[in-house]
Structure 1
Amino acid sequence: MIFGASLPAYSEQIDTFKVINNMQDRTYNIQNLPEPRRVEGVTADNFKQRVTDVYSPAVFKGFAKQWPLVNAANQSDQALCDYLVNVSTNTPLPLVLLPQKTKGRMFYSKDMRSMNFQRAQATLQQALAHMMHFAQANQALAVDRVCVQSARIKDVMPKLEKELCNPLLPDNHPFIWLGNPVTVAPHFDEAHNIAIVAAGVRRFTLFPPEQIDNLYIGPLEHTPAGQPVSLVDLNSPDLTRYPKYAEAFKHALSVELHPGDAIYIPSPWWHSVESQSNINVLVNYWWSGNYVSSALPFPMLLHAIQALKHLPEDQQTAWQHMLKHYISHDDTRWEHIPPTLRGVLGNRNQSVINKVHNWLKHKIAR
C-alpha cells in the first residue's frame, strides 16, 4: 500500500517537472525576443548618421528585393539552383557536412575535442545536388545536411557579383553562404557586417558585447569556424549548466528575415544565425578599415591574454590602466608630443600602420 500510494505523488512530481521545463522553454524562446530597430530609406548619404553612428543592429526590410538572385529564389528551389549554376565557375567550394543526428547545429562533438561536422570540397553543382537531395528526401532518411560557408563571390561566382547592387558598400567584395537548415552558435565578427538574405528564411539572434560573461564562451583557439562561440544552445538553453544565460536573454534581440531583407551587425556584437528553409542563401559584406593582420582586434586579445594573464594581479591592474589611457579618443592626451612624432597615437595613415605592423612582426619573431 505504501509503495502503491507513492506512485501518484511521484507521477505528479514528474508532471510538475515537465510543466516547469515547458514554461522555461517558453520563457527563453528566442522568437519572443524584441527585434532590432528597423531603418527605412537608408542610403549611402545617410548610412553613417542613421546606421553606423548608432551602436546597435539594424534591419533593412526589402533592401535587395530587386536582385535577380532573390527573384530566382522566390520562384522555386530549382530556379534558384539553375540561376546559381549559370553564374558559377568550377572552382571547388569549402563544404560542411552535418550528420542527421546534429539536427543542423554546427558545433562541437560531445567531448568538445573535435567538431560534430566534417569538412570537404565540392563544385557548386555537386553541393547544390546534395542540398536538393536533402530538400526532397523524406526526413526519416539519414541524409546529411550540407552548407557552403563563406566563399568569396568574386572567386567562385564572378558573374553573380556584377548583379549584386549594394549602394552602401559599393567597393566591398561580398561573400556567399548557402545550404540546408543550419544553426551557427553565437559568435562575433572582427568587422562590421551587412548580411542579406537572398533565399530561404533566417533568424538572427543578437547579444550586446557586454553580455560576454553571460554567454559561456568556449575555447578561443579551438573553435568550429575560427571565432569563439557560446556553448549555450539558444533553442534549448540548459539553465542548470549555464544559469547566467538568463541575464543575457534579457538583453537579446532576435529577428526573422526573408529574401531581400538585410541586417547590419556592428562589431563585435554576438550573433547566432539559424537558416530555416530547405535551401538557404546569404550574401554578406564585411568592412572595418583594418588592412593588416596586426590591426585586427582578435589577435590583440589573444596576445593580451598571453602577455598579461600570468602577471600578478597588481601588475594586471597597472596594464589595464595603461590600456585605458592609450585606447582613447581623447587626442588632447597627446598634445605634449609634437604632431610629427606621435606615430601610432597620431594620424594613423597607411605609412604609420605599415611601420607599426612591421615593428610588431619583428618583436614577435624574436
Structure 2
Amino acid sequence: MQDLTYNIHNLPEPRRVEGVTVDNFKQRVTDDYSPAVIPGFADQWPLVNAAKESEQALCDYLVDVSTNTPLPLVLLPHKTKGRMFYSEDMRAMNFQKAQATLQQALAHMQHFAQSNRELAVDRVCVQSVRIKDVMPKLEDELANPLRPGNHPFIWLGNPVTVAAHFDEAHNIAVVAAGVRRFTLFPPEQIDNLYIGPLEHTPAGQPVSLVDLHCPDLTRFPKYAEAFKHALSVELRPGDAIYIPSPWWHSVESQSNINVLVNYWWSGNFVSSALPFPMLIHAIQALKHLPIDQQTAWKHMLNHYLSTDESLHEHIPPSVRGVLGMRNQTTINRVHNWLKHKIGR
C-alpha cells in the first residue's frame, strides 16, 4: 500500500483571492507575504480559449502567432519520467539541450501526446522565453493588468516536473494550457529542503534534492518538517498564482501539452541589485574566514539589514548613500561603485 503520509495532494492550498484589480492588488495580494491563487485571471485570453478547445487548436494558435526564431529546447529521455534533475552522480544533468523552431518543438510535443506514455518517447519543453522575442503578436494580448509594463515569458512542453527552487523576483504565473501543480515552501524551510549546489544547477537557480512524490526520509529526514509547512494546489487554464520571492516552489505540468505565461518583477533598478549573486559573493567572501570573523560579519549584516532607521540618524541624510532614501541617483552611484570594486 502506498504511504500517503507525505502525499503533496493532501496538503492545504494557498489562499484564494477573488476580484483582484490593479487598485487593490497590493492590499489584497502582495501585502500578505504568502502565495495566492487568482482564479480565472486569464479566462478571456484567446490563447486560453484555444487550449480549452483542443490540443490541435492550441498548437495552431501558437504557430499562427510565432516567428521562426530558434527556441531553446530541453530533451528529457523517457527514463527521467519528465523530472528535470541531475544525473545520478550529480556531475551533469539528466537532460539534453537543443534548438528548434516553435513548429518543430510543438511537433515533438504532439508526438509524445499521441503516443502511450509507457513507450520510450522523449519529453520536450521550452523554458522561459520572452514572448516579445518569439511571439510578438501576443505581447499586447498577454499584457498583465495587475503589473502593467512587465514583460511576459512563456513556458511550454510535455509533462515535466521542476524541483523546488526560488526566484529572485516576485512572480505571477498563469496557466494558459494544461494542468499544473504548484507545491510551495516558506523561505525559512531552506534547512529542511536539502538544497543542492548553488552554481551547478539544472536551470540557473539552486533546487531541492528531495523528490516530492517519493521523498527518501532516510537520506532527507528533515523534509518531514518542511512538509508540515508546505502548500500545494492544482491550477487549470485561466488560473494564476502569485509567488513572492524567495518562496520555494516546485512546478509539475501534468497534461500532454502545457503552456504557462509568467511575469517577474522585483523593484530593482540595476543589475547589481540581485540577491542571489550577492549570496554567492557573500559565501565566497565570508564562509572561509575564521569563525570569530564570520560571527562579526553576521552582526554587521544584521545591523545594516535592520529596518530601524534610527540606527543611522547620526549620519546627515545628504551623505547616507545606500543607507538613506533610495532614488535613482543613489542607486546608479552604488551600482558603479560595486562594478569598480568587484570588477577590478
TM-score (structure 2 length as normaliser) = 0.98
Q: Does 1:328 align with 2:301?
A: no
1:44-83 maps to which residues of 2 (within 5 A)? 44-83=22-61
Identify the residue that residue 260 of structure 1 maps to in structure 2. 238
Give the letter for the 1:110 counterpart.
Answer: E
Identify the residue that residue 155 of structure 1 maps to in structure 2. 133
Report the CA distance between 1:100 and its aligned residue.
0.3
Q: What is the CA deviation profile of residues 86-108 of structure 1, one whole-angstrom value per residue up to 9, with x for unaligned ones?
A: 11111111110000000000000
Identify the residue that residue 107 of structure 2 maps to in structure 1. 129
Return structure 1 stretches of 4+ with deviation > 4 angstroms: none
Q: Does 1:31 align with 2:9?
A: yes
Q: Does 1:278 align with 2:256?
A: yes
| Alignment match of 1:227 (pick from 205, 228, 232) | 205
Give the letter for the 2:263 counterpart.
Answer: Y
Identify the residue that residue 14 of structure 1 maps to in structure 2. none
Report the CA distance between 1:311 and its aligned residue.
1.1
CA distance in 1, matches of 2:84, 2:167: 17
Secondary structure of 2:300 counterpart: helix
Report the CA distance between 1:293 and its aligned residue.
2.4
CA distance in 2, matches of 1:330, 1:170: 32
Secondary structure of 1:282 counterpart: strand
Report the CA distance between 1:331 and its aligned residue.
1.7
Q: Does 1:112 align with 2:90?
A: yes
CA distance in 2, matches of 1:90, 1:291: 32
Q: Give the total of aligned pairs.
A: 344
CA distance in 1, matches of 2:319, 2:139: 43
Identify the residue that residue 300 of structure 1 maps to in structure 2. 278
Report the CA distance between 1:76 and its aligned residue.
0.3
Q: Does 1:166 align with 2:144?
A: yes
| Alignment match of 2:288 (pick from 289, 310, 323) | 310
8 Å CA contact retained: 2:73, 2:99: yes
8 Å CA contact retained: 1:94, 1:122: yes
8 Å CA contact retained: 1:67, 1:165: no
CA distance in 2, matches of 1:336, 1:165: 46
Identify the residue that residue 266 of structure 2 maps to in structure 1. 288
8 Å CA contact retained: 2:82, 2:160: yes
Report the CA distance between 1:363 and its aligned residue.
1.1
The worse-fitting range, judged by mean Cα deviation, of 159-168 and 68-77 is 159-168
Give the letter for the 1:209 counterpart.
Answer: P
CA distance in 2, matches of 1:269, 1:141: 36
Give the letter for the 2:29 counterpart.
Answer: V
Identify the residue that residue 7 of structure 1 maps to in structure 2. none
Q: What is the CA deviation profile of residues 146-190 of structure 1, one whole-angstrom value per residue up to 9, with x for unaligned ones?
A: 000000001100101111142101110010000000000000000
The worse-fitting range, judged by mean Cα deviation, of 130-139 and 330-339 is 330-339
8 Å CA contact retained: 2:143, 2:152: no
| Alignment match of 1:358 (pick from 333, 336, 344) | 336
Q: Does 1:194 align with 2:172?
A: yes
Report the CA distance between 1:289 and its aligned residue.
1.2
Secondary structure of 1:295 counterpart: coil
- For structure 2, the 5+ residue unaligned runs are none
Larger relative helix fraction: 1
Q: Does 1:319 align with 2:297?
A: yes
CA distance in 1, matches of 2:119, 2:14: 37
CA distance in 1, matches of 2:298, 2:116: 57
8 Å CA contact retained: 2:156, 2:257: yes
CA distance in 2, matches of 1:37, 1:140: 36
Secondary structure of 1:285 counterpart: strand
Give the letter for the 1:221 counterpart.
Answer: E
CA distance in 2, matches of 1:138, 1:55: 42
- Larger Cα Rg: Structure 1 or Structure 2? 1
Identity of aligned residues (%): 85
- For structure 1, the 5+ residue unaligned runs are 1-18
Give the letter for the 2:300 counterpart.
Answer: M
Identify the residue that residue 182 of structure 1 maps to in structure 2. 160
CA distance in 2, matches of 1:325, 1:125: 54
Give the letter for the 2:20 counterpart.
Answer: V
Identify the residue that residue 8 of structure 1 maps to in structure 2. none
